[in-house]
Structure 1
Amino acid sequence: MLTRRTFLAASATAPLVFSRASGRAANEKITLGFIGVGTMGRGHLAAFLGRPEVEVVAVCDVVKERLDNAKTTVEKRYADRIKSGVYKGVTPYADFRDLLAHKGLDAVVIATPDHWHHIPCVLAARAGKHIYCEKPLTNNVAEGREIVNEVKKAKIAFQTGSQQRSEFANRFRAGVEMIWNGWIGTVKTVRIGVGGPSRPCDLKGEEKPAGTDWDMWLGPAPDREYSSVLCPKGVHTHFPAWRDYREYGGGLLADMGAHHFDIAQWALKMDTSGPTEIIPPENPKKGSGLRFVYKNGVTMIHNEFEKDKDGKEIAKADCVFEGTEGTLLVGRNQLELRMKNGNPTKFPDQPQRVYPSTSHPKNWLECIVSGKETICPPETGHRSASVCHLGNIGYRLGRKLKWDAVKELFVDDEKANKELSREPRAKWKV
């Protein structure tokens, strides 16, 4: 018996069938290369190795132990195919530019630190490779716009890794549809529960371990001594703290904010635009309470929730939507509707539905074949990252900012506009 549960489970893992009309042979596999095989990259590698539509042919990392580990992982998975001669092997690369030149490579998965998203994306697009890139898409606004422009010219399938749009038991998707269809009336306020902004890197230098190309790890970022906090030794299983430092990431504000602000802007239908004002709290150093104001009148608040008379938070979640008729709490393990007066009673005759996707990787692979746009294309990924960048800038400058989302510039604010880009080290200009 086919149920909703079994249907969704089956559709999330079903292999693709290539039609000959797509220009690919019916049994042709999509060849993948992986740029960055740390904790996140290994997770992606395991997921894609489990998909019969793809064949992993190349891996890349700046740490030799990780590179060797990834190569071994692929070879173990494809052991039977290696023995039969069907699979020709996986090539390890220390430089992603060499990986991009790998003969017959169709697509790349980029899971590097945030400061290393922009250049691989640009060069991969110029090389005509389809791209799956981790979020946040970039480390500043200017980088994101360049990726969008390059992908548009290349006409490739690009997926930003904001997988809450596809996964987590459809909670976020359901939440967005509930907002779109007026379940809580008109949304007035959105509260996003993520950590604080980035800070300057002040870590002490350490002796660089053998087998680590530290200069390559730094890439476009400023030169500094090696730190195991930024680039752990060997094969690690945790998420390194480079994300806390503005030279390499945007703090937890961007790290998880790229997920949750993405859902909020999707629900507000602002995911290809952005706010008009950024208002920091009276004390920006506390790292919470910054407000984004949108042209539709909605205020989005970073990591500050309403409290009762005893100081207890009334409603807290990854995303809290407060409307005229109720409140919706949405999270990876939460979907809760709190109405002011009973259950929702007004429903549209033709409800609005979100883009159908139950697997982020599968959606990307389908779009490689079909030529359709992914559920999180570069413009959307860029706008979701941008709101995080704007928040970081607001906390740093500590004053109200006006934002032109069309021009992607602060209004009459030269100092703030200098924060929108960063000059890379000379050898990494693209």
Structure 2
Amino acid sequence: MLSRRALLKMSLVSTAATAVIGRRARAASANERIAVGVIGVGTMGRGHLNNLLGRDDVQVVAVCDVVRERLEHARDAVVKRYSDASKAGTFRGVAATADLRELLSVSGLDAVLIATPDHWHTIPCILAARAKKHVYCEKPLTHDIAEGRRLVDEVERAGIVFQTGSQQRSEFSGHFRKAVESVWNGRVGKLSAVRIGVGGPPRPCDLPAERVPEGTDWNRWLGPAPERPYNEVLCPKGVHSHFPAWRNYEEFGGGGLADMGAHHFDIAQWAMEVDRSGPVQVVPPEDPASGQGLKLVYANGVIMHHNAFDGDLRADCVFEGSLGTILVSRGGISSRPESILAEPLPDSARRVYASSNHVGNWLECVRSGAECICPAEIGHRTASVCHLANIGYRLGRTLPWDPAAEQFVGDDAANAMRSRPSRPEWSV
């Protein structure tokens, strides 16, 4: 274990910002490595870190976490990976800090990958955009609707390359891309319904207080969220291999609706070609407390159902049309009748954006300046669906929604829930 003094010494970074060309962030050339900082190195972030360390086109130059053991573990992994360069005298070291502002000031930094809890997504995204750093941020992109629009506006002003971590667009053997293309090309006929199988809404955090472990900056972990006592369920001690349950509590996450919903609602809206818009009405079930059965109605007449399936036709995403049904999950894709998918699509078929590696797509776009497969606007619109569903369950009444204005129609109480208060010291 590194001493606090050694850790602080490691975290000393230059305050000089990376040079930018005009309004846009610097694009890396084809022959140079992209300098990346990783913000949040828990289970998800550590997986991303290891992926980046395995790439020859990337140099990890900084890591950030509020738990000292995780920070040290991540730093050691970076040093080990670049040990040959270190022996040759070409390794300039890696900054390790609990303060994301310090990470963003690292000299030569090009981009950041953000894998923090949900309530900590928007702040680093906005600060990175202002610093002209390209961003990859895990899903759900935001913790409420209003901050999502702020984030998108900041990204557009900065001119950075932005990728939302909706990996199903790129990975899982192309099953979801095949489903979307099949819907686009009329294989199910006229689409009438989409059924999504994910968990329910979050609940208020009522976990008992526990002693904050040494080396954990609990106040910084809370950040913009309301004050709650430390509990290991939210922020496990040290390095761990599971996904913590902070996502089940409304102060920090959006429950299953926002966790896996951010994946499956994304695919649904992509297939419906409304991934830069959204529904026009939210209809809760008769028993909102059940946390299932809510409907999202779209202007084209398609209804998206949350956890309301027809018999045995169950999957992560189910697309129902006049000619049949397509069922797709991470493990595979099928149809009823089977003939819907029996023949490949013709060469003339409409095709989705081609990407088979989500982080790789982001890095390619950092070099080229092209738009990623899941940019900020789409990530925001997907997260908004999650938030709309949670608001619908909470209020228990039908809510007309204007996707262009991003407001509920004639409902002040619902509109007040488009945002949430932030602790003043964490406002950006």
Q: Which residue of 2 aligns with 1:55?
A: 59
Paired residue type of 2:360: K
Output the CA distance in 2 between the equivalents of 1:232 and 1:133.
22
- Residues 325 and 341 of structure 1 are in contact (CA less than 8 Å); yes or no, is this contact kept in structure 2? no
Which of 291, 295, 298 is the matching residue for 2:299?
A: 295
Unaligned runs of 5+ in 2: 1-25
Amino acid corresponding to residue 285 of structure 2 in structure 1: P
Distance 2:247 2:27 in 1: 41
Cα deviation per residue 1:136-159 (whole Å; 9 max; x = unaligned)? 001100111111000000111000
Distance 2:267 2:182 in 1: 13
**Offset of residue 428 of structure 1:** 1.0
C-alpha distance in 2, partners of 1:23/1:242? 36
Are 1:203 and 2:240 matched, yes or no? no
Cα gap change, 1:79/1:289 in structure 2, threshold over 3 Å: closer, same or farther? same
**Corresponding position of 1:361:** 359
Q: For structure 1, which segment, 177-186 or 23-32, has the greater mean C-alpha deviation from structure 2 after superposition?
A: 23-32
Q: 1:327 aligns with which of 325, 328, 337?
A: 325
CA distance in 2, matches of 1:57, 1:95: 15
- The range that moved more, 404-413 or 349-358, is 349-358
SS in 1 for 2:132: coil
Cα displacement string for residues 91-138 of structure 1 (whole angstroms, at most 9, x for unaligned residues): 101111110111110000000000000111000000000000000001
Q: Percent identity?
A: 62
Secondary structure at the residue paired with 2:173? coil
Residue in structure 2 matched with residue 121 of structure 1 by the alignment: 125
CA shift in 2, pair 1:214/1:349, >3 Å: closer
1:306 CA displacement: 1.1
Preserved CA contact (<8 Å) 1:278 1:293: yes
Please, which of 153, 157, 163 is the counterpart of residue 153 of structure 1? 157
Residues in 2 aligned to 1:249 and 1:347: alpha-carbon distance in whole angstroms: 39
Q: Does 1:130 align with 2:134?
A: yes
C-alpha separation in 2, matches of 1:107 and 1:122: 13
1:144 is aligned to 2:142: no
The answer as to whether partners of 2:30 and 2:367 remain within 8 angstroms in 1 is no
Task: State the partner residue of 2:43.
Answer: 39
1: CA distance, partners of 2:29 / 2:324: 52
- Give the TM-score normalised by structure 1: 0.91
The question of whether the paired residues in 2 share the 8 Å contact of 1:64 and 1:212 is answered with yes
Check 1:165–1:343 CA distance in 2 against 1; reply closer, same or farther (3 A cut). Answer: closer
Are the aligned partners of 1:184 and 1:326 in contact in 2 as well (CA < 8 Å)? Answer: yes
Whole-angstrom CA distance in 1 between matches of 2:271 and 2:207: 39
- CA distance in 1: counterparts of 2:289 and 2:198, whole angstroms: 16
Name the residue aligned to 1:375: 373
Tell me which amino acid in the other structure corresponds to 2:229.
Answer: E
| Residue 347 of structure 1, CA deviation | 6.8
The one-letter code sitting in structure 2 at the alignment partner of 1:121 is C
Q: For residue 315 of structure 1, what is the amino acid of its counterpart?
A: L
Q: How does 1:2-401 map to 2 (within 5 A)?
A: 24-307=28-311, 314-339=312-337, 350-401=348-399
341-350 or 398-407, larger mean C-alpha shift: 341-350
How far apart are the structure 1 equivalents of 2:181 and 2:343?
16
**CA–CA separation in structure 1 for the residues paired with 2:319 and 2:250:** 29
Shift of the alpha carbon at 1:342? 7.4
Give distance in 2, aligned partners of 1:115 and 1:205.
Answer: 20
Three-state SS of the structure 2 residue aligned to 1:420 is coil
Determine helix, strand or coil for the equivalent of 1:177: helix
How big is the shift at 1:27?
Answer: 2.5
Contact 1:132–1:159 (Cα < 8 Å) also in 2: yes
CA distance in 2, matches of 1:41, 1:385: 20
For 2:4, the equivalent position in structure 1 comes to none
Amino acid at match of 2:125: C
Contact 1:184 1:344 (C-alpha < 8 Å) held by counterparts: no
Distance 1:217 1:24, change over 3 A: closer
Partner secondary structure for residue 327 of structure 2: strand
Q: Secondary structure at the match of 1:354?
A: coil
Distance 1:304 1:233, change over 3 A: same
Partners of 1:229 and 1:341 in 2: how far apart? 47
Distance 2:353 2:122 in 1: 26
TM-score relative to the length of structure 2: 0.92
Stretches of 4+ moved more than 4 A in 1? 22-26, 340-349
Alignment root-mean-square deviation, CA: 1.6
Determine helix, strand or coil for the equivalent of 1:239: coil
Q: Say which SS state the counterpart of residue 28 (structure 1) adopts.
A: coil
Q: Deviations over 1:365-408 (max 9, x none)?
A: 11111111000000000001100000000000011100000000
Cα separation, partners in 2 of 1:346 and 1:124, compared to 1, 3 Å = closer
Secondary structure in 2 aligned to 1:327? strand
**Number of residue pairs the alignment of both structures matches:** 403
> What do the CA deviations read for 1:187-223 (whole angstroms, capped 9, x no partner)?
1010001011111111111111100000000000001
Question: How far off its partner does 1:26 sit?
Answer: 4.3
Mark the CA change 1:93 to 1:185 in structure 2 (over 3 Å): closer, same or farther.
same
SS at the partner of 1:159? Answer: strand
